[in-house]
Chains A and B, each alone.
Chain A
Amino acid sequence: MTMNAIETARSRPGQTLLPATLPWAAVIAVLFILPLAFPGTAMVSTLNYLGTMAIFALSYNVLLGQTGLLSLGHATFFGLGGFIATHALLGMAEAGWAFPLPLLPLIGGLGAFVLGIFGGWLASGKGGMPFAMITLGLSELVYAAAAIFPSIYGSEEGVSMDRMELGSSFGMDYGSATDIYVIVAVWFVICAAGLKYFTTTPLGLLANAVRDNAERVEFLGFSARRVRMWTYAIAAGVAGIAGSLAAINFEIITVIELGAATSTLVLLMTYIGGTRVFFGPVLGAVVIGLMKVWLSDLTPAWMLYFGLLFIFVVMVAPGGLAGILVGAGAMIRAGRLGPQLPLLAAIGGLGLLSLAGVIMLIELGYRAGLDAALGSQIRILGLPMDAHGLNSWGLAALLALGGALSIRPLLSRLETLQHRLGLKGGDPA
């Protein structure tokens, strides 16, 4: 259902001026409003983090969505970009050079791009499994190298810098989070517009072709390897910009930023957001980024919830969150959502109950195990519960299982209904 709907939306020719510029006007308007709507250093810092991750996720989607390449080491270029930018800043500050801070990501991005050409040349011989394994190997290599070169990567505490050391430029001294927000927002627009443009170029189209059918590309006169290599380098360059921005925002860069955990994070963001809609990864970066910032305060189990969300998206909505939105939008426009609403509402309600049960199980489990020292009494979703109490566990299990089991017949009814509405099987038009 969702993929068909995406397709209808995508293949609709919207080449007139207005629809093409409208989303960008909206993006810029939102970027203006955000810091006004969420003032305060902590909030703006969070926005800076989200913007950085949004750029990072967009860059990852050049590989995953556009070229169909599963990189398991994309953080390598995020981290290296950050280190390059940091060392550039430190070096220039020491030499007393005047270099505007907002242009620093250019250095990190270019550095990562050049390293990306090299990495891409190594990794791009084949797609699929060999590509994934080589990217994983390369990233482990760089990560391991960090321990050997403490002068470059810092020791465990990383390399820190003072972003104000380069002095003022463009009327800002870069002391406040808002100044950094301006830098992040402008780079976000530049990167998003650049990558969107990239999708419209011959190389961008060939990337799609390599994703769809790499062998046939060769029989049209092209080298699939070259296409992979250049998309890899472009993705690396933009990741380097994102990494530079992260370094500027936090004024520190550590090897965590180029490790497997960060590579996994960007994979989750991109996939959960949706790989087949251009702004999908941005949505994923915002949702996962917020979860990371807020959920990690609320519960020690936050990583587990990422995993669950990821599994849910993989199994239920392979088009990601953006895929769901686009699909719903197409259905509304076609007037086909109305008849489904009661069923969808019932499924959603039961899903929430089941989710509540799962949350209780997880939190009770953590409290009974890892966090046992905090005592067995705990409030979960507003309810007082007991990690050693049979009632608590019983209620949680009942909700989780009962919800999930009662959803199943509803799902098959939804499928029948969608079939009847002509949304499944066959041409959606």
Chain B
Amino acid sequence: MSANAIEIRDLRKSFGPVDIIRGVNLELRAGERHALIGPNGAGKSTLFHLISGRLRPTSGKILLHGQEIQGKPPARIVHAGLSRSFQITNIFPEMTVLENLRCAVLWKLGHRYSVLRPLGRLRDVEAECTRLLEELRLTHRRTSRADSLSYPEQRALELGLAVASGADTLLLDEPMAGMSHSETAAALELIMAVTEGRSLLMVEHDMGVIFEMADRISVLVYGEVIATGTPEEIRANPAVQEAYLGTPNAEEAA
């Protein structure tokens, strides 16, 4: 039981009469890299919003390390050890890269809403931010405004905000969306490095990326997980082939 970072049981979400998530069951094992795939409109982002607290489920349970988190506000879920990135870049545009990261590490380092000392004097914050900047390869952009970064740099910062909070479970919503081929390769390498040792659930469309990085894959179709397994199992699954991979242009259609 506790070997699972996240356990989702019969999760449902309706918007009025429309059922978007229709009884999802999903397990994210501790330490695994798990990809969530599915056609557009399958409910992948909605599922992420439910897990991370942006939306409240209609029914069902979400357990984080065995503790129920469904319906809790996002901040509580972060405290419980889960943080996320967003499909559409969701950073602090008018603040510098360093300031962005400072905000993200303040809670885990215990400074919270403090006014007792200036940030410049908080050695632990500085050390952690320096380490993160290095890891994200943004050291040279330290004092640049976040909205002046290139797109891949903004995506790296987006990833950095999720990673910096110190959560051991991460949800990454299409971290490579909108990137060119070479940018995707660099981003994948970065993601693999910064999420080392954590449990990772990631929505991704690029099949090449998925089969390269994922330990397991779950396929979400019309609000239901129709299959979960290793990349090989998913590739060989006839239901998945029919619903998703079977289309002639699987790579592009994704």
Residues of chain A from 195 to 248 with CB closer than 8 A to chain B in the complex: 197-198, 200-206, 208-209, 211-213, 215-223, 226-227, 230
Contacts of B84 in A (CB 8 A): 219
Indicate if the CB atoms of B78 and A197 lie closer than 8 Å. no
Q: Among A203, A205, A206, A221, which residue has its beta carbon within 8 angstroms of that of B78?
A: A221
Name the distance in Å between B99's Cβ and chain A's nearest Cβ.
Answer: 6
- Complex formed: what's the CA distance from A213 to B157 in Å? 14
Produce 1/0 per residue, B140-154, CB < 8 A to A.
000111001000000
Is B94 part of the binding interface, using a Cβ–Cβ cutoff of 8 Å?
yes
Produce 1/0 per residue, B92-129, CB < 8 A to A.
11111001001110111001111111111010000000
Q: Which chain A residue lies CB-closest to B111?
A: A202
Is A13 part of the binding interface, using a Cβ–Cβ cutoff of 8 Å?
yes
Is B228 part of the binding interface, using a Cβ–Cβ cutoff of 8 Å?
no
Indicate if the CB atoms of A204 and B115 lie closer than 8 Å. yes
Task: Give how many B residues have a beta carbon under 8 Å from the other chain's beta carbons.
Answer: 39
- Complex formed: what's the CA distance from A235 to B118 in Å? 19
Q: Among A12, A201, A215, which residue has its beta carbon within 8 angstroms of that of B90?
A: A215
Q: Which chain B residue lies CB-closest to A68?
A: B94
Q: Which chain A residue lies CB-closest to B85?
A: A219
Is A151 part of the binding interface, using a Cβ–Cβ cutoff of 8 Å?
no
Task: Give how many A residues have a beta carbon under 8 Å from the other chain's beta carbons.
Answer: 32
Indicate if the CB atoms of B145 and A219 lie closer than 8 Å. no
Contacts of B161 in A (CB 8 A): 216, 219-220
Indicate if the CB atoms of B114 and A202 lie closer than 8 Å. yes
Contacts of A11 in B (CB 8 A): 96, 143-145
Query: Which residue, of B92, B93, B104, B117, has the highest number of chain A Cβ atoms within 10 A?
Result: B92
Contacts of B236 in A (CB 8 A): none
Q: Among A198, A213, A227, which residue has its beta carbon within 8 angstroms of that of B91?
A: A213
Indicate if the CB atoms of B78 and A220 lie closer than 8 Å. yes
Q: Which chain A residue lies CB-closest to B90?
A: A216
Tell me the A residues contacting B by CB distance below 8 Å. 7, 11-13, 15, 197-198, 200-206, 208-209, 211-213, 215-223, 226-227, 230, 427
Tell me the B residues contacting A by CB distance below 8 Å. 52, 73-75, 78-79, 83-84, 90-96, 99, 102-104, 106-108, 111-120, 122, 143-145, 148, 161, 165
A-B contact pairs, 8 of them (CB 8 A): A198-B115, A201-B116, A201-B118, A202-B102, A211-B94, A212-B92, A216-B92, A220-B83
